[in-house]
């Protein structure tokens, strides 16, 4: 993975983005969300911000083993 496809800005270099793990969404799930995460080598859901572009937060689904980006969506509007 060396590029992400920003819904606003199109395909952009990875260095324009900043990584963040996903956030726990339900109240009461913070501990599990932070300390009990189970990594899947084939599937990772991540949040990336286009920090040197439109500043949009993206939800990126990718396969860390192959480096393939499976899906990129804009966060917000019910997507978490």
**Interface positions with another protein (CB under 8 A):** 1-3, 18, 20, 23-25, 27-28, 30-31, 33-34, 47, 49, 51, 55-57, 65-67, 75-78, 80
* Residue ranges binding Zn ion (CB under 5 A): 6, 8-9, 50, 53-54
For residue 27, what are its two tokens?
A: 């109240």
Contact 8, 72 (CB under 8 A): no
Q: Least distance (Å) from Zn ion to the CB of residue 44?
A: 21
CB nearer to Zn ion: pick between 7 and 70: 7
Given Zn ion, another protein, none, residue 50, with its beta carbon under 5 to 8 Å by kind, binds: Zn ion
Shortest Cβ distance from residue 8 to Zn ion (Å)?
4
b/e sequence 36-60, b meaning 16+ C-beta within 10 Å: eeeeeeeebeebbbbeebbebbbbb
Query: Residue 18 and residue 60: Cα distance in Å, rounded?
Result: 12
């Amino acid at each position: 993975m060396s590029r992400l496809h920003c819904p606003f800005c199109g395909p952009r270099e990875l260095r324009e983005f900043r990584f963040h793990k996903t956030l726990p969404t339900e109240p009461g799930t913070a501990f599990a969300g932070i300390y009990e995460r189970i990594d899947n080598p084939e599937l990772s859901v991540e949040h990336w911000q286009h920090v040197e572009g439109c500043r949009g937060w993206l939800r990126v689904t990718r396969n860390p083993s192959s480096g393939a980006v499976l899906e990129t969506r804009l966060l917000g509007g019910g997507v978490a």
